[in-house]
A = this chain, B = another copy of it.
Amino acid sequence: MSWKRHKLTIAFDGTGYAGWQRQKTGLAVQAVVEVALADLLGSRVVLHGSSRTDAGVHALGMVAHLDMPVGAPRIPCEKLPLALNARLPEDVRVVRAERVPEGFHARFGASGKEYRYQVWNARVMNPLLARTAWHVPVALDPEAMRRAAAAFVGRHDFRSMAANHGYRIEDTVRTVRLCQVRRVGELITFRIRGDGFLYKMCRGMVGTLVQVGQGKIGAEDVGRILEQKDRRVAGVTAPACGLVLWKVFYRNGGVVEGELAAAGAERSEEEE
């Protein structure tokens, strides 16, 4: 166990942010937490997040790691959340801080992620969910959505669910472990767990499932849509506000080997 590397679990209301990752324009959650860290530690610190959540997407379990700068005050882990939250806006909270081994990497050490998505399915929107749910006013058939959701589970090429980000993504095969549709009253919650996600893949899946619920896409067509590997044949991209990065999973303590362990390493893969 090194003193240096720390893992932070971060929750945020993404409504006012340009996503997790530092941007040329717009305020990113990463930048906001880095400012709080610099203020606390007295020198600039770079955060490495598990996922590049998009503008407006929320998180309850974003994970990021950092290396404590040389000479930084030795603040006990359990005091870090309180000290950072005092320096953060209320819509960004550090939930937990842990010391992790040198080889831990928030992104490359992640073995899986769970996203949740909320839909308010009633003629009139629930104003208490305006920031955190997608309003779908037309009736949805939960049974059809459940059948379609089952077709997403497993190892598939998810190219037709993901947004093309302007550059080539080489490997678009991902494994979805869970795709659950649950209805309680007018609230529909989607739970999607997988080993990895392509850019806007979750929102493409939810948009497709909602169109299945409306009868615009057949539940049995989802397998064929995946096979076509063409974004245009799938459903709409569900809006960002309904999506929450719920939890990031790590196997072997999130430790990665070799070059990837270098904190600055980046892969070409883009995630939701």
Q: How far is the CB of A86 from chain B (nearest CB, A)?
A: 12
Asked if A13 CB lies within 8 Å of chain B CBs, one says: yes
Q: Which of A90-98, A205-213, A256-264 contacts B (4 or more CB under 8 A)?
A: A90-98
Residues of A within 8 A of B (CB): 11-13, 58, 60, 81, 85, 90-96, 123-128, 130-132, 244
- Contact between A13 and B93 (Cβ–Cβ < 8 Å)? no
Q: Which residues of B contact A131 (CB under 8 A)?
A: 128
How many identical subunits does the complex contain? 2
Nearest CB in chain B to that of A85: its residue: B124
Known: A58-B128, A93-B125, A96-B124. 16 other contacts (CB 8 A): A11-B124, A11-B126, A11-B127, A12-B127, A13-B127, A58-B127, A81-B123, A81-B124, A90-B127, A91-B127, A93-B124, A93-B126, A95-B124, A128-B131, A128-B132, A128-B244
Assembled-state Cα–Cα distance A81/B85 (Å): 41
Cα separation A125 to B13 with both chains bound (whole Å) = 11
Chain A interface helix/strand/loop/mixed: mixed
User: Chain B residue with minimal CB distance to A11?
Assistant: B127
Which of A94, A125, A127 gathers most chain B CB within 10 Å?
A127
A-B contacts, 5 of them at CB < 8 A, read A11-B124, A85-B124, A90-B130, A91-B130, A92-B127
> Which B residues touch A85, using CB under 8 A?
124
Q: Give the top 7 A-B pairs by smallest Cβ distance, nearest first.
A: A13-B127, A95-B124, A91-B127, A93-B124, A93-B127, A11-B127, A13-B128
